[in-house]
Amino acid sequence: MRITGGKVKGQVLKVPKSHSVRPTTDLARQVIFSILENTADDWSRVLDLYAGSGALGIEALSREAKWADFIDQKPQCCAIIKENLEKTKLASQAHVYCCTANKAVNFLNGKYNIIFVDPPYSDPSINNLLTSLATSKLMTENSLIVVPHSSRSSLEPAYDGLHLIKERQHGDTCISVYQKEVGI
């Protein structure tokens, strides 16, 4: 897996060897960042939930993000994210938390401009997590949430103040982008 754009474009990332980790493909990441380049006003702070190898957050740091927090509950994944951050020389712009996404939503304090939510395709809790994020203190008025998910499992068009603004499908991957409604 390679970084597809920005200052560390072409850098190869280490990927966890686990059947439960499904890295977002280079093509899907290119689509995600193409959408973000045309949609996101501010890339200052990024949150990468279910980070796996850290590819989405590292890609954001490589492009325009100033800071990224990475969340994964597997110690093996957390170690690989730290290794990938060191390899790309982006470790000073990031922090890795080894915990569940739900726990992170409850204890993190900062506001994020872009939140990546990339759970295993079989994870049934994605709808609950999106509802929690919608009402959390982690969102700004223009925050975007990017959710790569299986095209066989659809998401809701809205979650308590989050509204679907874009959706793209590439093979079995569907990319849904939500935005926080102004004033909510």
CATH number at residue 85: 3.40.50.150
Separation between Cα atoms, residue 105 and residue 97, nearest integer Å = 11
pTM for the whole structure: 0.93
- In which domain, by residue range, is 96 found? 26-180
Task: Report yes or no on 13 lying in a domain.
Answer: no
Q: Is 109 exposed, middle or buried (0-12, 13-18, 19+ CB in 10 A)?
A: exposed
Specify whether the CB–CB gap between 158 and 129 falls below 8 A. no
Task: Report yes or no on 17 lying in a domain.
Answer: no
Instruction: Check residue 110 and report its DSSP letter.
Output: S
Task: Report yes or no on 93 lying in a domain.
Answer: yes
pLDDT tens, residue by residue, 9-43: 999 999 988 656 666 777 888 889 999 998 888 88
Task: Report yes or no on 6 lying in a domain.
Answer: no
Task: Report yes or no on 20 lying in a domain.
Answer: no
Specify whether the CB–CB gap between 158 and 180 falls below 8 A. no
Helix/strand number for the chain, H first, E second: 5, 8
| Of the candidates 158, 112, 119, 156, the residue with the CA atom closest to the CA atom of residue 136 | 112
pLDDT of residue 36: 93
pLDDT tens, residue by residue, 120-173: 877 778 899 999 999 999 998 889 999 998 888 889 999 988 999 999 988 888
Q: How many domains does the chain have?
A: 1
Long-range residue pairs from 34-38, CB within 8 A, at least 24 positions apart, any chain: 35/146, 35/166, 35/168, 35/175, 35/177, 36/60, 36/114, 36/144, 36/146, 37/63
- Which amino acid belongs to residue 173? T
Look-up of token digits 């590292």: 58
Task: Report yes or no on 18 lying in a domain.
Answer: no
Task: Report yes or no on 15 lying in a domain.
Answer: no
pLDDT tens, residue by residue, 69-99: 999 999 999 999 999 999 999 999 999 999 9
Task: Report yes or no on 10 lying in a domain.
Answer: no
- Residue 174 φ/ψ, nearest 5 degrees: -110, 135
